[in-house]
Amino acid sequence: MKTIADVSIKDKRVLVRVDFNVPLNDKQEVSEDSRIRAVLPTLKHLVEGGAKLIIMSHLGRPKGKPAPQFSLSPVAARLEELLEKPVRMLDDCIGESVKQAVEQMSGGDVILLENLRFYPGEEKNDPDFAARLAENCDIYVNDAFAVSHRAHASVEGVVKAAPVSVAGFLLKKEIDYFNNAVKTPKRPLVAIIGGAKVSSKLGAVENLLNRVDKLIIGGAMANTFLKSRGVDVGQSKVEEDLIETAGSIIRKAKEKGVEFLLPVDAVVADRIDPGADIRRVSINDTPSDMMILDIGPETSAMYARALNEAGTIVWNGPMGVFEIPAFSSGTMNILKDMANSGALTIIGGGDTDAAVHGSDDARKITYISTGGGAFLELMEGKTLPGVAALI
């Protein structure tokens, strides 16, 4: 997979797909800019190399039509501060106005196109829309790992229309880190899978059974595995239709010699609320009128021992309802133990990134991915459409 380091960029029109789907506050200002910062190495390389830089992204879910609250204008303002260079914000992403703006560019200039999802052709991967995006570039760059699992016009379709297509530094880094961690890991390789549903992580769990030495399960999805073992989990969320599948996964793990770790104690409550009746119980003593909302301290200690022995750790999905402090200890303990393990550590994006963002321990993690769904699909063993198009 070629990158921008492999092509000549001076005075070339370079169209870069990034993920600037960032949160905005009530004043329509960027409130968290890590996704913008993540692509700065690529953008600065292009600016400093004299490219005519044309940036495109989506923001929110405008459902195929213009919506002022989803304009990328606030992002342009923040990007200008971070790049320390003027960023011209356009009011469209295709058409004559864009063509004219690009024709006026000099090497080192920067343009940000308006929200791609203001057009239905983006998410439909419409070839005509993709061609209209590509008509203003000499080189297309994908540096949007977080959306590379989507076969959208700006991710996959544009590659068929652009003269040259390459990866940005962030995309290359994401793929390399994952491959090093899962395909050629320093062992033991330990994977931690959490979150709400077995159904959303089933493919990842089944694929990882062929690769890992130990598999740690947490979050609400652990309830389905526990119930498959005959554990009464009270009012906890369970995917009844997957109980048999969960039991089969546990048996497969044993057959493959994979250590499969489930909670042995839990933090339970009568409702998901800071003011709820909260207790710590053995996993076999979950009250029938309460629900499991976090792993308990004995489970955290057991998981810590597994992590301390690891050579490589990959984590996707929180251990509990981390948004409420009373149910966040399990997730934060996992983070702390990963940070102090001495292993190569990688965290998948989405909820996991949100749970650990800004903590001192998060700064000790080897790599925190920018992609939630994309990272999960890699864990499932899938090839991302946005990556496959570049190969």
Q: Round the CA-based radius of gyration of the chain to a whole number and report it.
A: 23
Check 108, 203, 311, 373 and give the catalytic one: 373
User: Is 216 in contact with 261 (CB distance < 8 Å)?
Assistant: yes
Match 């380091």 to its residue by tokens. Answer: 5
Q: Is the dihedral of CA 246, 248, 250, 253 positive or negative?
A: negative
- Is residue 349 among the annotated active site residues? no
Check 121, 234, 350, 372 and give the catalytic one: 350
Check 35, 52, 78, 214 and give the catalytic one: 35
- Is residue 197 among the annotated active site residues? yes
User: Is 366 in contact with 347 (CB distance < 8 Å)?
Assistant: no
Q: Give the whole-angstrom CA distance, residue 145 versus residue 122.
A: 17
Which residue(s) pair with 17 in the sheet?
56, 142
Q: Is the dihedral of CA 230, 233, 235, 241 positive or negative?
A: negative
- Is residue 275 among the annotated active site residues? no
Total Cβ atoms within 10 A of residue 181: 23
User: Is 338 in contact with 313 (CB distance < 8 Å)?
Assistant: yes
Check 197, 237, 252, 279 and give the catalytic one: 197
Measure the N-to-C terminal CA separation of the chain; round to a whole number of Å.
5
DSSP-assigned states of every residue in 11-46: T-EEEEE------B-TTS-BS--HHHHHTHHHHHHH
Active site residues: 35, 197, 350, 373
